[in-house]
Every structure is written in C-alpha cells, then in structure tokens.
C-alpha cells in the first residue's frame, strides 16, 4: 500500500497543472471526468469534453462528487459495535481478523450457505469481486437487485435476439419512444442526445404516467396507468399486425414464430387494452402507426419496466415490437454495438462461480421455482424470510457491500427485524447509514477517487473508461482490498491478486495492454454494427430473432408474451385503497445516497408526494401541506406537491429517503418517509425473476391536520 501511495505522490506533482482523466462513480452511467489535484488534494472536477458518452456534461450530483470525498461524516476507520451499542474505532488488522474468525466459526457450525453476501447498487467490478469472494468462501447465496433493475430487459433481449440493443440516437431516428424511462432525471447523456435528435426532426413519443421533462418535449405523451406496460406493448403489436405495418421481408428472413404471434395477439382487443392501460384505442393506434411508419425508430426503455411481476414478458414484447417493425439492427434503430474486447464482467474466470458445485448452487435461497434456470442469484426477499424463519435453513451472517437495504428493499420493517437478528452483520460503505448502524462491524470503503478501476456501462453506449486513484484519505480501502485482506485469514488468499491493478491487467489482457498502458488514453469506444445480422445472423440458438421461444417453452414459461386480462382487471378493485402508488427518482440522489450532501439537500430538502389537483381538491389537501400515504403495510409522511400533468389516480412518492441530520439512535428517521414501508414482498412474484410488485400498489392519502 505504501509503495503504491508513493507512486501517486509522484502523480500529484505530474498532474498539478494537468488534470487526471477518470470516470465518475456516483452511479453506473460512467461519465468521463477530469480531476484536478494539487498537493495531494482534489481541488476541482469537471466533465471530460473528449469523453464520447457525456461529452463534458455532468449531472447535478456528479458536480458535487468532491462533497462525498471530503464530507466531515465520512467513515475513515473500521468501527466495531460494543455491547452497549456504542461504536468504537479499531484497526484494520483487528477488524479483518475478528470478522474472519466470526465467518469461519459460523461456516463450521452451520455451513457456508448460512453466510449471505448482499450487493448494493455499485454495478461495477466491485460486484464481481464480491461474487468471487462468496464463491471462494463456498456460499451460493449472493443477492442481486438485478431482478428489479436491468437484468429482466437484458435476459429478454438475449433470449429474443441474442444481444442488448442500444438506440442509435445519432443517426437520427425518425421516431423515438421513451418508455418508462425518466431520462431527464436519471440518464442525462441520453436526454441530451434525444434533445439533439428532436432538433433534427425526430418524432418523440413518451410513455409515462407523469409529464416528465422529456415528456414536455414530446409530440405524443401517453399517460399510461402505472404497471400496465405489458398490455400497452401487446396493444401496439396488435395494431401493427392487424394493419400489416410490419416489415414482412425482415420477418421472413430473420425471425421465427411470427405466425404464432399472429394467433396469440388476436386475444387482445384494443377495447380490453384501453380498460387495462387507461390509454384510448385511438391513441394506441396512433403510436403504433407513427412508430412503424417513421422508420428507423428507437425505443429507449427504462427501469420502470423492471418493477412489476410482468417485467420479463414486457421486455420480451418490446423486443418483439422492435423486430417485427424492422427497427432492429439498422442505423437509426435499436442496434448491436460491439464493446471493446476486454474480459467480460461476470465470466467464471472472474467470479469463480465454478468453485460452488451446481448441486450446491441450486440450494441457494429462492433457487427453485422463482426464476429462469439461467439466473443464479439468491432472491433478496426470501433471504430476509430465511433469516427470520430459518427456512429453508439458518442464515447467521450477512455481508453487505454498498447497500442501504432498510431504504431500498421492500417490506422495510421486516428487513429491519431480519438484520437485527443475524449473528454477524458486516457493512462496507462510505457513511453511517441506517442499515450500517444495525451492523456489528462497519468498514470504511474508498470512493471512486481512491482506487483504480475500469468502467464499462452495462446498458449504454459501450465506452470503456479509466478510473484512476488520485488521493488516499485516512485508512479507507477499496472493496477489492477489503475482500482480498479478508480472504487471507479465511484460507483462500491465493485466489486474489495482491494488487487490484493486477486484476485490471488481466481484464485488459485480450487487448494486449496493461492498466498502466491504458492510462495514456483512458477511453476506448465500442463500434456500432449496423446490419450485422445480414452476414452473421442473430446470436440465438436458431440464428434468428425468436419471437416464439422454444427455450422458454422447454423451461415451462410463456413462449410468447401474454397477460391474464381478468386477473389484471380484478386486482384493481380496492375501495379502501383507491389510488395507485408508484415511485419517483430524482437527479439529485442515487437511491438513498446523497441525502447527507448539503448542496444537494438545499436544492431538494425533503421528500415530495405528487398528487393530481382533482384528488387534492376532493380530499381538502393544499400545496405544501403534509399527508399520510398508506397501504395495508403501514404509512409514511411526505410533503405535497400538486401536479396537474399526471395520471389522475396515481400518487407519486419520493424514493430512498432518510434524514442523516437526525439522531443515529433513531436510525436517522429511516421509517418516517420511506416508501418501502408501504411496499410488500409477498408472492405472487414474477415467474421468471422472482420480482415482487414495486409499482401500481393500492394506497390511500390522508391529510395531516396537526403536524
């Protein structure tokens, strides 16, 4: 460590006038930045104009990244909780040895699977490092939030046409559909490209219950009922098939299963789709015709699709829509982009997944009957149940890496009881969060300024970017260093490289370069591959787009997307909870992160619930007042903002709120405004990923008269 730090002292001198090229790590996008360092201290960051992803622009939280690095409440030493509940600083050696001793003791008594490894929202190489550690330890229980974020769309894409398609917004497209994706708040680089395409003549359609900033630019705003995206996708397919708006030549040459689709789609009369979605049949027809006729067209989809039990089949339906309309694999459409030829994240060489035998892997919590056979994570909500009930076996130790699960897991009060119960809870994080405060040990993790890495966004333009260590504050360690150090007393230290950079060299080895070589440029872009299917087909079992999936049929799942109309309509009837609960993410924060950054809180000081004026009037609610939002699980308090441009029966609740300024003993007010107090984790789950419904939940609103 000291030798490496000396090398960076030299870098400080070298770059005192010249900024260091790196990548922002506050979210998964991978925006290029330039870091100015003077005297071993970061003095300024700015967007990298030469970076092809963000082209010099940073979001509001990215501009405040230094505030995370030098925050006075930053964790700077390992902490151990005493019997009376106080936190005491300890050395890294003490922390590593005591944690390893506890994990070994539990493993010996209850087996490796009694130790669960829970990942937060990093979505970088840190996730693979934790998988590597868990597999080396012998536990099949590695949780992931993939079942509610990106993975349903990724797997649906792979099964349908073999790759994750990315919209070619530069062309520009004739039509852009932004579907369940608040790009103006969460994907600023995509938002900028959409605005540019709009200026060049692209027709813009936005499908969202709320008139977001991108919806304000739209030629057509589709005010859909939350949670009904699958029905709308089937309705659009119905129109395209019924009016012969499909690309017959593409279908004939490059797809299988179109005849089966034609038969299945006849079940969905537009009057039924209108009842489910609250979108008129006339508007559905207009959207379908514009999308199919103004080719090439792009569908920019988002995380909102992932948050219901229908996530996988919704994604499949949108994939099929891209294909039959002739908008797949063409310039200005949704295309395959070839990534830089590095070793891919998640490969067995990196994660060591083969160290856990398949028969043991199948014993993971939630492993049977809740997800596709190709998915190997433990299901988070069932891990929580296993801790509380000991079924299917005891869970005694939980290692959390960068996750504040009291705020981000559904049924938060149950999560609270579970985390309090475990025998050994370890949390690696930057700050003392409500979740970290429940732990027995808290380990101070490095920020992206403090360790080297490689960044390749999972669902954006494939730009490989360098992340460079420029400072070392106190005795924080990167997640890699923490896991490497823990691996030694646990008996598998030989499975971790001594230096993190050696791992990065290994990942870059197919390119014939090292990480130090990569410092010279720091950026490597993938390539768009228009019409790749003409010469190479599609990378599926059949070599074609699989509208009808034999693989899904063999696994026991719907081979063509479908919806149970009667079940969907009947689930809407609840007179006690007449409104529709859904959530909203703001650009100032990533999940629960950033609530302790003063500059961000000044811009957005407290959580807001959006209510339609008609609802507010009927309940006697005024702008700026406070209300209870309640479901059958509990109630929370948020401040009212009256919003006329939204689906009338919907209630938008701010997500990820706790109050770092409050007392730590009360867990920083974790349950006051936390939407996950209201959201359940009970079945029925999505059949393919075990996803509970995180949106479209019945709720009610009550004015607070005496707050």
- % pLDDT > 70, the chain: 97
Please determine, for residue 3, whether its predicted confidence score (pLDDT) is greater than 70: no
State how far the Cα of 67 lies from the Cα of 89, in Å rounded to an integer.
23
Tell me which of 573 and 422 has the higher pLDDT. 422
What does residue 374 show for φ and ψ, rounded to 5 degrees?
-85, -5
If you average pLDDT over residues 471-498, what whole number do you get? 97
For the stretch 558-614, pLDDT in tens is 999 999 888 888 777 788 999 999 999 999 999 999 999 999 999 999 999 999 999
If you average pLDDT over residues 481-501, what whole number do you get? 98
- % pLDDT > 90, the chain: 92
Closest by CA position to 350, among listed 539, 510, 113: 510
Q: Give residue 11's pLDDT band: very low, low, confident or very high (50, 70, 90).
A: very low
Residue ranges and CATH numbers for the domains of the chain are 162-338 (3.40.228.10), 573-703 (2.40.40.20)
Query: Given this model, what pLDDT does residue 15 score?
Result: 42
Count of other CB atoms within 10 angstroms of residue 454: 23
| Predicted TM-score (pTM) of this structure | 0.95
Angle formed by the axes of helices 281-293 and 270-277, to 10°?
A: 110
Please determine, for residue 10, whether its predicted confidence score (pLDDT) is greater than 50: no
Q: Give residue 17's pLDDT band: very low, low, confident or very high (50, 70, 90).
A: low
Query: Given this model, what pLDDT does residue 707 score?
Result: 64
State how far the Cα of 701 lies from the Cα of 578, in Å rounded to an integer.
9
State how far the Cα of 445 lies from the Cα of 107, in Å rounded to an integer.
25
Closest by CA position to 378, among listed 221, 202, 681, 147: 147
How far are the Cα atoms of 149, 313, 479, 536 from residue 153, in angstroms, in the given order?
Answer: 8, 9, 28, 23
Q: Give residue 645's pLDDT band: very low, low, confident or very high (50, 70, 90).
A: very high
Query: Given this model, what pLDDT does residue 574 score?
Result: 85
For the stretch 463-477, pLDDT in tens is 999 999 999 988 999
Closest by CA position to 226, among listed 118, 307, 347: 307
State how far the Cα of 154 lies from the Cα of 388, in Å rounded to an integer.
32
Query: Given this model, what pLDDT does residue 2 score?
Result: 35
Query: Given this model, what pLDDT does residue 570 score?
Result: 77
Q: Give residue 18's pLDDT band: very low, low, confident or very high (50, 70, 90).
A: confident
**Mean pLDDT (the chain, rounded):** 95
Q: Give residue 7's pLDDT band: very low, low, confident or very high (50, 70, 90).
A: very low
Closest by CA position to 307, among listed 698, 705, 702, 696: 696
Dihedral sign computed on CA atoms, order 273, 279, 283, 289: negative
For the stretch 183-215, pLDDT in tens is 999 999 999 999 999 999 999 999 999 999 999
Are 436 and 78 a contacting pair, CB within 8 Å? no
Q: Give residue 8's pLDDT band: very low, low, confident or very high (50, 70, 90).
A: very low
For the stretch 523-569, pLDDT in tens is 999 999 999 999 999 999 999 999 999 999 999 999 999 998 888 88
Residues 6+ apart with CB under 8 A from 116: 139, 141, 142, 143, 365, 378, 383, 395, 397, 398, 399
State how far the Cα of 360 lies from the Cα of 393, in Å rounded to an integer.
13
If you average pLDDT over residues 66-89, what whole number do you get? 96
């Amino acid at each position: 460590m000291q030798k490496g730090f000396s090398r960076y002292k030299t870098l400080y001198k070298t770059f005192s006038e010249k900024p260091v090229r790196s990548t922002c790590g506050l979210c998964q996008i991978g925006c290029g930045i330039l870091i100015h360092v003077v005297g071993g201290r970061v003095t300024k960051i700015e967007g990298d104009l030469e970076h092809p992803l963000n082209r010099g622009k940073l979001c509001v939280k990215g501009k405040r990244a230094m505030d995370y690095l030098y925050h006075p409440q930053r964790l700077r030493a390992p902490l151990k909780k005493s019997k009376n509940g106080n936190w005491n600083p300890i050395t890294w050696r003490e922390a590593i040895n005591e944690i390893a001793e506890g994990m070994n003791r539990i493993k010996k008594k209850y087996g490796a699977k009694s130790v669960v490894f829970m990942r937060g929202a990093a979505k970088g190489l840190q996730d693979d490092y934790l998988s590597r550690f868990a597999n080396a330890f012998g536990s099949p229980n590695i949780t992931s939030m993939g079942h509610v974020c990106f993975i349903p769309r990724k797997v649906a894409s792979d099964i349908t046409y073999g790759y994750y398609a990315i919209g070619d917004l530069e062309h520009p497209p004739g039509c852009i559909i932004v579907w369940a994706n608040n790009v103006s708040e969460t994907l600023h680089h995509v938002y900028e490209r959409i605005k540019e395409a709009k200026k060049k003549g692209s027709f813009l359609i936005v499908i969202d219950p709320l008139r977001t900033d991108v919806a304000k630019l739209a030629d057509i705003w589709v005010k859909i009922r939350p949670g009904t995206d699958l029905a709308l996708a089937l309705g659009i397919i119905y129109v395209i098939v019924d009016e012969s708006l499909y690309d017959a030549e593409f279908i004939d040459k490059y797809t299988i299963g179109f005849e089966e689709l034609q038969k299945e789609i006849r079940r969905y009369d537009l009057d039924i789709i209108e009842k489910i979605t609250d979108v008129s049949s006339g508007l559905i027809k207009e959207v379908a015709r514009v999308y199919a006729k103004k080719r090439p067209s792009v569908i920019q989809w988002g995380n909102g699709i992932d948050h219901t039990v229908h996530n996988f089949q919704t994604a499949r339906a949108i994939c099929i829509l891209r294909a039959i309309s002739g908008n797949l694999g063409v310039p200005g459409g949704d295309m395959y982009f070839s990534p830089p030829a590095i070793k891919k994240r998640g490969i067995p060489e990196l994660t060591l997944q083969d160290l856990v035998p398949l028969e043991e892997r199948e014993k993971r919590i939630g492993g049977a009957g809740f997800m596709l056979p190709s998915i190997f994570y433990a299901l988070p909500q069932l891990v929580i149940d296993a801790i509380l009930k000991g079924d299917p076996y005891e869970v005694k130790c939980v290692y959390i890496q960068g996750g504040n699960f009291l705020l981000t897991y559904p049924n938060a009060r149950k999560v609270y009881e579970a985390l309090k119960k475990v025998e050994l809870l370890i949390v690696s994080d930057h700050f003392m969060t409500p979740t970290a405060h429940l732990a027995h040990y808290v380990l101070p993790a490095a920020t992206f300024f403090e360790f080297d890495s490689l960044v390749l966004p999972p669902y954006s333009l494939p730009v490989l970017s360098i992340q460079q260590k420029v400072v070392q504050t106190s005795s924080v360690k990167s997640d890699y260093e923490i896991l490497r150090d823990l691996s030694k007393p646990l008996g598998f230290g030989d499975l971790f490289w001594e230096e993190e950079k050696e791992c990065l060299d290994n990942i870059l080895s197919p390119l014939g370069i090292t990480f130090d070589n990569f410092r010279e440029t720091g950026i490597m872009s993938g390539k768009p591959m228009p019409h790749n299917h003409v010469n190479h087909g599609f990378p599926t079992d059949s070599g074609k787009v699989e509208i009808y999936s034999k693989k899904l049929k063999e696994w026991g799942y719907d081979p063509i997307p479908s919806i149970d109309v009667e079940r969907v309509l009947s689930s809407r009837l609840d007179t006690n909870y007449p409104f529709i609960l859904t959530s909203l993410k703001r650009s100032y924060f990533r999940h629960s992160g950033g609530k302790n950054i003063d500059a961000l809180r000044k811009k957005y000081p407290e959580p807001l619930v959006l209510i339609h004026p008609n609802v507010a009037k009927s309940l006697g609610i005024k702008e700026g007042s406070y209300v209870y939002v309640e479901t059958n699980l509990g109630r929370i308090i948020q401040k009212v903002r009256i919003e006329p441009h939204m689906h009338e029966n919907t209630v938008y609740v701010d997500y990820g709120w706790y109050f770092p300024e409050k007392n730590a003993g009360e867990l920083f007010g974790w349950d006051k405004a936390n939407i996950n107090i209201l959201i359940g984790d009970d079945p029925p789950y999505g059949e393919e990923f075990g996803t509970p419904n995180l949106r479209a939940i019945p709720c009610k609103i009550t004015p607070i008269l005496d707050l």
